[in-house]
Amino acid sequence: MQYFHTVRHKETLKDIAKRWQVPVTSIIASNNLKAPHTISVGEQLSIPAGVKEYHVRTGDSVYRIAQLYGLPISIIVEANKLTPPYLLYENQVLKIPPGVPFYVVEEGDSLDKIARRYNVLTGKRSDIDAIQKLNKLQNTTISPGMKLNIPYVPPGNSGFIAYTSNRGGQFDIWTYNLRNGENNQLTSGLGDLFSIPIWSPDSSRIAFVGKNRIIYVIYVTSGSIGAIDQLTDGEDFGLDWSPDSVHLAYVARGNIQVYNTTLHEGTIVEQPGASEVSWFPSGEELLFQALDASGVSQLYKSGLIGTAKEQITHNENGLLQNVQLSPDGSFVLYTTPGASISIIHTIDLATGQVYEIKGGPQSKNYYPDWSPDSLNIAYSATDFANNSYFSQIRTVNRKGSNDQIWAISNCFSTPVTWSPDGSKLAYLSGCSETEFAKEMWMIDLTHPAPIKLLDGFTITSLNWSPKPVLDLAKKDYTNEAFDVNFQYPADWEKVNDVRYVGDDGFFQISAIYGSENIDEICHDEAFQKLKPYGSTPKIIPSENQYIEACTILPSSDQPREMNEQAAYIVKYPEPIELDGNLYNYIILWADKNHIDAISSTLLFLP
């Protein structure tokens, strides 16, 4: 629900922004004000979330504080459950709502006009139904003087935000659907306060460290969950997915562990004392932190068998924290020296140049996160005003320039996460003194009006899915004869044991016996005499070094009756027997729009 401030005599946008500790640009966007952004006395402005606390000083009264913020006394009394005669004491902490919780309808207003003015928009379309529902209106008729509560609504973006919350009674991993605002609980009793959901690059899996420090992988489309390892006290909780979304790297038992989440096999990369491990985009090298011969924390990179170890930094101070490689592998960031003072640094790996990011006014900069294009960093910076800590949601260029404040959280610090296209940020707010956040917010950097997504329960972490579209409505397909399992769209219907068809696609499986050379098998399938894939199909070898496989995509002259058929061929770990014959490959046919999504979930049965 939005709050409204009524403009007083001689007030400017700058005055109002300063009073509520929010950026001027957020007020402009929250009200869709047009340049030159003039406001008039009596105008009602939606005020984004900012600092909501006031510490009582000697001589304060409810009347004086109400006058200071331009609020009715009743709003402060109700927010703080004060009782007559409303006596206050020094250093008492009062909640100060950013205005009144209603908009007063004016002459010429309509629900559509109000929705567009105050960003009650889902997918850029006004959601007047949400206003009607919140206010229990029987129809769309409104009249001047009516008091309307104005809601926030789901933004309508594709993708999901995974988050850790106790909304089900215990800490678990949930997802928020940005398209319709629905929430889905992915785990039951497996999470913990410290759990952070980490999406795979293709958004098909989520890894997290849960209760009893067990590492879990959620196979999102099927809902299945696997426990892959257990960490001990003091071990690094950092997890990082390989670029192909198959392998998970982490540190356990003093060395780097690489776990194949498809084959369910683990290997060790011998790097004693390593921590903060992450993948380079090639999928062939790892970045990690370890102590040098002098016992000083440094960053290194090495191959997957621990060879070709190369020192990246020449640090002379303490531990490097929050180490993150940029998505394109060209920069790395870290924070130092510790919790009370936390400065962000970046390193250009091509030149070795180190850049210091000035950050917030208190030198307390937390949760840095790379933008998808590797050009910017989002983070929260702690600030202090009116005897209260809060945090600024900021972005900065990777070399420290163009640092901007976009929004305010009333938490001491908050994790931040980027949308897949790098145009939006999500963050947490709704903290009360030392308690955890109870709100999730989103802001569009092209139109910085903060939108509340969730509230009412503890939220400790959040992470936006890397892919813009993620269909959670899928089913499991298992065929024991072909020794295979994968996921497919839930609305497709069974034709027979090996073929399913839907309005938007299909799949079918079979087995192949032939050469031990995967290239020959793929070539023979792609260039059959009848040209089922067209005259110039494209063969794409698998980038996964542990799997012999290929994808065949049709050319533009493929016969129409083939329904855009593509293929995925993969070699069995061991040949299977069907009707007395041995087969060493499985072939999955599907339309070209679904071949990657289906093949990426393929598992051989144990």
- Residue 306's pLDDT band, with cuts at 50, 70 and 90, is confident
234 or 101, greater pLDDT:
101
The residue from 435, 464, 493 where one domain ends is 464
pLDDT at 446: 93
Segment holding 552, helix H or strand E? strand 549-553
What DSSP character marks residue 100?
B
The mean pLDDT of 305-311, rounded to a whole number, is 83
Residue at 10 is within a domain? yes
- Residue 450's pLDDT band, with cuts at 50, 70 and 90, is very high
- Residue 21's pLDDT band, with cuts at 50, 70 and 90, is confident
Whether the Cβ atoms of residue 212 and residue 169 lie closer than 8 Å to each other: no
Whether the Cβ atoms of residue 414 and residue 367 lie closer than 8 Å to each other: yes
Residue at 469 is within a domain? no
- Residue 473's pLDDT band, with cuts at 50, 70 and 90, is low
Whole-number percent of the chain with pLDDT over 90: 64
- Residue 471's pLDDT band, with cuts at 50, 70 and 90, is low
The residue from 148, 169, 187 where one domain ends is 148
- Both 142 and 204 in one domain: the answer is no
The residue from 148, 180, 202 where one domain ends is 148
Round the average pLDDT of the chain to a whole number and report it.
Answer: 91
pLDDT at 149: 95
- Residue 323's pLDDT band, with cuts at 50, 70 and 90, is very high
- Both 166 and 144 in one domain: the answer is no
Q: What is the pLDDT of residues 356-382, one digit of tens each?
A: 998 999 999 999 999 999 999 999 999
- Both 406 and 340 in one domain: the answer is yes
**Residue 433 predicted with pLDDT over 70:** no
- For residue 474, what are its two tokens? 């899928």
The b/e string for 227-244 (b: 16+ C-beta within 10 A; e otherwise) is: ebbebeeebbebbbbbbb
Q: What is the pLDDT of residues 128-174, one digit of tens each?
A: 999 999 999 999 999 999 999 999 999 988 789 999 999 989 999 99
Closest CA to 471 of 456, 483, 486, 489: 489
- Both 195 and 275 in one domain: the answer is yes
Residue at 155 is within a domain? no
Number of domains making up the chain: 3
223 or 196, greater pLDDT:
196
C-alpha distances in angstroms, 475 versus 63, 220, 592?
Answer: 60, 11, 19
CATH of the domain at 17: 3.10.350.10
- For residue 290, what are its two tokens? 């370890």
- Residue 434's pLDDT band, with cuts at 50, 70 and 90, is low
- Residue 469's pLDDT band, with cuts at 50, 70 and 90, is low
What DSSP character marks residue 7?
P
pLDDT at 141: 92
Segment holding 111, helix H or strand E? helix 111-117
pLDDT at 193: 94
**Residue 325 predicted with pLDDT over 70:** yes
* CA terminus-to-terminus distance, the chain: 51
Residue at 154 is within a domain? no
Across 255-375, where does the E strand assignment appear? Answer: 255-260, 265-269, 275-279, 285-291, 297-303, 310-311, 321-325, 331-337, 342-348, 354-357, 365-370
Residue at 117 is within a domain? yes
- Both 87 and 206 in one domain: the answer is no
337 or 229, greater pLDDT:
229
What's the number of CA atoms in the CB half-sphere (13 Å) around residue 518? 19
**Residue 114 predicted with pLDDT over 70:** yes
**Residue 600 predicted with pLDDT over 90:** no
β-bridge mates for residue 333, sequence order: 324, 346
- Both 107 and 186 in one domain: the answer is no
- Both 62 and 202 in one domain: the answer is no
pLDDT at 526: 96
Q: What is the pLDDT of residues 86-106, one digit of tens each?
A: 889 888 888 888 888 999 999
Whether the Cβ atoms of residue 248 and residue 264 lie closer than 8 Å to each other: no
| 56-70, 275-289, 444-458, 547-561: range with lowest mean pLDDT | 56-70
- For residue 270, what are its two tokens? 């011998």
Residue at 153 is within a domain? no
Residue at 363 is within a domain? yes
- Both 545 and 524 in one domain: the answer is yes
For residue 110, give its domain range.
Answer: 4-148
Q: What is the pLDDT of residues 525-574, one digit of tens each?
A: 999 999 999 999 999 998 777 689 999 999 999 999 999 999 999 999 89
Q: What is the pLDDT of residues 475-498, one digit of tens each?
A: 788 999 999 988 888 779 999 999
Q: How far apart are CA 170 and CA 203, in angstroms?
A: 25
Residue at 381 is within a domain? yes
- Both 454 and 513 in one domain: the answer is no
- Both 384 and 512 in one domain: the answer is no
Segment holding 67, helix H or strand E? helix 62-69
CATH of the domain at 434: 2.120.10.30
Q: What is the pTM for the complete model shown? A: 0.77
- Both 357 and 425 in one domain: the answer is yes
- Both 138 and 181 in one domain: the answer is no
Q: How far apart are CA 583 and CA 575, in angstroms?
A: 5
Q: What is the pLDDT of residues 376-421, one digit of tens each?
A: 999 999 998 777 789 999 999 999 999 999 999 989 999 999 999 9
Q: How far apart are CA 566 and CA 228, in angstroms?
A: 33
Residue 529 CB neighbours (<10 A)? 5
Residue partners of 595: CB distance under 8 A and separation at least 6 = 551, 553, 566, 567, 568, 588
β-bridge mates for residue 324, sequence order: 333
| Lateral strand order in the sheet of 388-397 | 365-370, 376-385, 388-397, 404-409
